Amino acid sequence: MTATSRDERTGSLVLPEVGQLVDGEWHVPDERLDLVLEDPFRGERLDAAVASDEASVERAVQAAHDAHESGAWADRPPVARAEVLDAVAGALEAELSRLAELEAFATGVPVRQTSIVGVIVPGAFRLAAEMLRAGILLEHHEGPAGNPVEVHRLPLGPALCLVPWNAPAPMAAHKVASSLAAGAATILKPSEFAPYATTELARTVGSVLADAGLPGGVFQLVQGGPGVGGRLVNDQRIRAVSFTGGLAGGRAIAAACASDFTALQLELGGNNPLVVLPDADPEDAARSAVDLLTTLNGQWCRALGRLVLPAAGAQEILELVLARLALLQAGDPLDEATDLGPVVHSVHLARLRAAIAERTRAGGVAHASTHVPEGPGHFLAPTLLTGVPVEQSVHEIFGPVATVHTYDTEEQALAVANGTPYGLEGYVLGEDTERALSFARRVRAGEVKVNGSSIMSLHLMTPRPAWGLSGLGEEGTVETIRAFTGARVVGVEGGHALHAR
């Protein structure tokens, strides 16, 4: 594949030419979308986003179907699949710094953060291999008469992995490693907004699988927007879909999958609360709020959506938050010293500004203290909005913007925390850990962290569920692998129907 060199700002960074991998062949799609990719730091327009054409999508689906029917991958013993996944992980480890830079360039997330999150890329493949060796796809039970009963978890058929733009390579790695571990022939489609790192990831995965003698249909990459995604999810040959993204896209995909009962896993984001209990240390509250507001530039599904503060201490905490925000260094995401980068695209920046304007019209007051560079870059100072009625702050904003709400009683705080149709993540802070845990157990969300604000899950082996409009099903180390499988129960019964003589 050819590549495009950048100037002195990006140093050695070279943007890959955005291509597709279909049935073992790399090709640069001829179709172009209306969307023009941008350098979010400079605000410069780059090339138009590419899309795989209808013929390429059809060829990819047929190749995946043929690979599944052949059993070339699905019939390999799990331990043999684990060896290939480990080889992928080893090849990806050599690419980590480059992938982190590509992610930073495309998304605006500081490279210091993309480097940390990037360890998920090889880690996902190693962890999936470990799960296969642990035997998660086969269970043994004993029937009532002492006869053996087996539960085999087998690939449902070709799988589709749809990846968003905010952390493309790590999310692609998690989904692809899981679907391949399940034995599924896999098609990956990244977001059209950030295709670079996933293109490089696919290059590595495809190369390792080809070296292992596998047919090209076992793993493929297509490019494009909702049109390409729609053709894929509506194809009856696709038997399992995993999607992370927005609510509108999730609803459309769910409707498409319903007609053929295609297995579906959705993570659609959330309007996540951080509830600061009255006994919490104000400095700790401020640090957690800033972490959750600005990690990945606020562009992550578990970011802060609602800051819920005790009325008596709200002003002090708000001032401490703004003081911390003022210390952040906003700038070039490729600079190791940068704390906060630009948002991904001018289109998204316009959405964020519109969301702030909508809430200020509803009575909100915007508070921001971070100095951001002037010029054409897509910068937005992290913003807290006070005075917004609860009913006007129901939906996720997906950026460094959150509403602030106060309470007098814990029941009021709980009502605010649970006052959205979402339920992905919750956060509770308090000096009395047992009291905080008691409160956390009543927050309606798939995961609720007490006294923590990192981007990582509470435990590697716990599920990452989604309640309400936050999605469908559960993600996780085991859960995502099993999302691509169906169970087949086999055993000796040794009995007869009641009417048999």
Cβ 170 vs Cβ 147: under 8 Å: no
Distance of CA 114 to the CA centre of its chain: 13
Nearest to 192 by CA among 262, 126, 264, 245: 245
Cβ 205 vs Cβ 89: under 8 Å: no
**pTM, entire model:** 0.95
Q: Give the Cα separation of 404 and 359 in Å (integer).
A: 12
**The predicted structure's pLDDT at residue 500:** 57
Cβ 397 vs Cβ 355: under 8 Å: yes
Helix (H, G, I), strand (E, B) or coil at 133: helix
According to DSSP, the β-strands at 467-468 and 383-386 are unpaired
Buried b (16+ CB within 10 A) or exposed e, 283-322: ebbbbbbbbbbbbbbbbbbbbbbbbbbbeebbeebbebbb
Measured CA distances, 465 to 251, 258, 459 (Å): 17, 20, 13
Helix (H, G, I), strand (E, B) or coil at 458: coil
Cβ 160 vs Cβ 242: under 8 Å: yes
Q: Which amino acid is at 489?
A: V
Q: One digit per residue, pLDDT tens: the chain, 501 residues?
A: 334 444 555 566 889 999 999 999 999 999 999 999 999 999 999 999 999 999 999 999 999 999 999 999 999 999 999 999 999 999 999 999 999 999 999 999 999 999 999 999 999 999 999 999 999 999 999 988 889 999 999 999 999 999 999 999 999 999 999 999 999 999 999 999 999 999 999 999 999 999 999 999 999 999 999 999 999 999 999 999 999 999 999 999 999 999 999 999 999 989 999 999 999 999 999 999 999 999 999 999 999 999 999 999 999 999 999 999 999 999 999 999 999 999 999 999 999 999 999 999 999 999 999 999 998 999 999 999 999 999 999 999 999 999 999 999 999 999 999 999 999 999 999 999 999 999 999 999 999 999 999 999 999 999 999 999 999 999 999 999 999 999 999 999 877 777 755
Cβ 277 vs Cβ 435: under 8 Å: yes
Token couple for 444 = 């309606």
Q: What is the pLDDT of residues 256-279, one digit of tens each?
A: 999 999 999 999 989 999 999 999
Token couple for 228 = 């390409």
Q: What is the pLDDT of residues 304-333, one digit of tens each?
A: 999 999 999 999 999 999 999 999 999 999
Residues marked as catalytic: 267
